[in-house]
Amino acid sequence: MAAMVELEGGAFLMGTDDREGYPQDGEGPVREAVVAPFAIDPHAVSNTRFAEFVAATGYVTEAERYGWTFVFAGLLPADFPETRALVGAEWWRQVFEADWRRPEGPHSSIAGREDHPVVHVSWNDARAFCDWSGTRLPSEAEWEFAARGGLVQKRFPWGDELEPDGEHRMNVWQGSFPDRNTLADGYLGTAPVDAFPANGYGLHNTSGNVWEWCEGDFRDRRGAVLGKAIRGGSYLCHNSYCNRYRVAARTSNTADSSSGNTGFRVAASV
């Protein structure tokens, strides 16, 4: 396991007023945020690390207890039986017996994906891992401070260009979503947790790959709690419908929800 990255914290400009953003998500206005010194993992928790936690504790995830979770239809075999789709996002299919060990259902496994981020984990599952490992989830401010890698008001952890000099820097959807992925970045589903170059603070995949749970509540403009915040986007993000792979972007899900594109990384106070 790679050592945590210790950051001195301080003030930074959080959020964005970029017209590409989603005002309803509360990305803006740009405001000064201050974070205390903290440490954060250079990458998301992998299947191997989560397996160690389960072996030590016998923990059963919420997806396992519910007996199903949502899987991206494009990862299912052509002859997979028809199951319920998520209304408004029909590329998500309800798959029974899918969980972190079997990301696409009982016909699948994590063999060969041990170094990929664990998925199908809820916020509650992530918090259970933190309790075991003596860590915590990062706040949104900590997450964004770390994800920016020391850059000021850039769209991505490396700058403003999506693909500088034609180089892919993250794992997001390539082609036309949701029917055709050219795999130009090398991946259809998840990528290894240390794939692609690290940002200026040594963190990998703070854009794309998997959404990452944060500690705090996600509130709308009126202050109502809609769920728990997730940051970073995933391998399913595409600018035609969801360019939330920008470092200022944010969205949410309920604390007991899981899916095939959501994981987490851990932090600690120093």
Whether the Cβ atoms of residue 260 and residue 104 lie closer than 8 Å to each other: yes
Whether the Cβ atoms of residue 40 and residue 265 lie closer than 8 Å to each other: yes
Whether the Cβ atoms of residue 69 and residue 83 lie closer than 8 Å to each other: no
CA 61 vs CA 2, 66, 154: distances in Å: 25, 9, 36
> 155-178 burial string, b = 16+ CB within 10 Å, else e?
bbbbeeebeeeeebbbbbbbeebb
**In a structure prediction context, what are the per-residue pLDDT tens digits for the chain, which is 270 residues long?**
679 999 999 999 999 998 887 778 889 999 999 999 999 999 999 999 999 999 999 999 999 999 999 999 999 999 999 899 999 999 999 999 999 999 999 999 999 999 999 999 999 999 999 999 999 999 999 999 999 999 999 999 999 999 999 999 999 999 999 999 999 999 999 999 999 999 999 999 999 999 999 999 998 777 889 999 999 999 999 988 888 999 999 999 999 999 999 999 999 999
Rg (CA), the chain: 17
Domain topology for 5-45+52-62+116-269: paralog of FGE (formylglycine-generating enzyme) (3.90.1580)
How do the domains of the chain map onto residue ranges?
5-45+52-62+116-269
Cis peptide before 37 (omega within 30 of 0): no
pTM above 0.75, yes or no: yes
